A and B are shown apart, each in its own frame.
Chain A
Amino acid sequence: MKISICGSLDFTYEIKKIADQLKSRGLEVTIPLSSEKILNGEFSLEEIKTEKEKGEFSKRAIKYDSIRAYWKIVNEADAVLVTNFDKKGIKNYIGGNTFLEMGFAHILNKKIYLLHEIPDMIYSDELKTMQPIILDGDLTKIASLNN
């Protein structure tokens, strides 16, 4: 099974841990492109946070064409796993970019796993419509790890 992990870049280090766990169980895993660059030392999480605070993050998304890049990744995956940890005082936060990736997975008929419950946010109704599989933090609930 090929799984694409999505989530806020703030969770890069948690995403890395989850990716390693899943890889050790035989899954093929991709992580967010910018998370990879952070882990490779190409830029820092602090730089990203500063860009977001200044409202300049869209420039980076345009430069790397990250929305289309993610469309391609989700196309090639069997499932997406959304790492929705708490952020900005919101329980199980899902940001706009991750929401878009979930939308791509939905329209492409891919399985959508949510690490935690659906958050209470502006697009909760849309998130429910996508009928994600809630893992309650338990990665062994991912279908192919049950076999």
Chain B
Amino acid sequence: MILAICGSMVFTKEMLAVQNQLEKQGHQVFISGFAKGYRGKSAEEIEKLTIRDKKENDAILDHWEKIQKSDAILVLNYDRKGIKNYLGGNTLMELGFAYVLNKKIYLLNPVPEIEYYQSEIEAVRPMIINGDLSKIS
């Protein structure tokens, strides 16, 4: 299966590890084209870089194109900003893109409780894999 990994770039390290694991399982995996440049940077540094890349390098378009080429997306929703299973605005947008393109949507962890868009996350009917990558098939 061809997968696009989505999630906060603050988790670049985890993203690369999950990519590696999924590739070992035989999947083809896309991650953000900017991930390599973020490797080894602190969360604060990555946040600044992602704001720049969203504006100047159209990171949204970059991932849109990857989702189009994929069969499914996997969202890495780890805890962040004091929110369990955090999923940010950019990732929410990618969930919407995957949904309208009829791609499968996997969430690594359960749907977060975020007042403004919890119902939109539920509405795209993600498959929750509870951290178990072998459930992707």
Give residues in A with beta carbon < 8 Å to B: 52, 55, 57-58, 61-62, 66-68, 71, 88, 95-97, 99-100, 103-104, 106-107, 121-123, 125-129
Contact = CB atoms under 8 A, between A and B. Distances in A.
The A contact surface, by secondary structure, is helix
B119 A99 contact: no
A52 B118 CA distance: 10
A62 B96 contact: no
Contacts of B125: 62
Interface size of B as a range: 20 to 34
29 contacts: A58-B118, A58-B122, A58-B123, A61-B120, A67-B123, A71-B96, A95-B116, A95-B117, A96-B116, A96-B119, A96-B121, A97-B117, A99-B89, A100-B92, A100-B93, A100-B96, A103-B60, A103-B96, A103-B97, A107-B61, A122-B88, A122-B89, A123-B89, A123-B90, A123-B92, A126-B54, A126-B89, A129-B54, A129-B60
Nearest to B118: A55
Instruction: List 7 tightest A-B contacts by C-beta distance, closest first.
Output: A96-B117, A123-B89, A58-B122, A61-B123, A103-B93, A96-B120, A71-B100
A125 B54 contact: yes
B70 to A, nearest CB: 15
Interface of B: 51, 54-55, 60-61, 64, 88-90, 92-93, 96-97, 99-100, 114-125
Given A71-B100, A107-B64, A126-B54, A99 B123 contact: no
Given A122-B89, A125-B89, A67 B119 contact: no
A57 B125 CA distance: 13
Contacts of A100: 92-93, 96, 120
A22 B99 CA distance: 31
Given A122-B114, A128-B55, A58 B119 contact: yes
Given A107-B64, A123-B92, A128-B55, 12 more contacts: A57-B119, A58-B118, A58-B119, A61-B123, A68-B100, A96-B118, A99-B93, A100-B92, A107-B61, A125-B51, A129-B54, A129-B55
Contacts of A58: 118-120, 122-123
Contacts of B119: 52, 55, 57-58, 61, 96
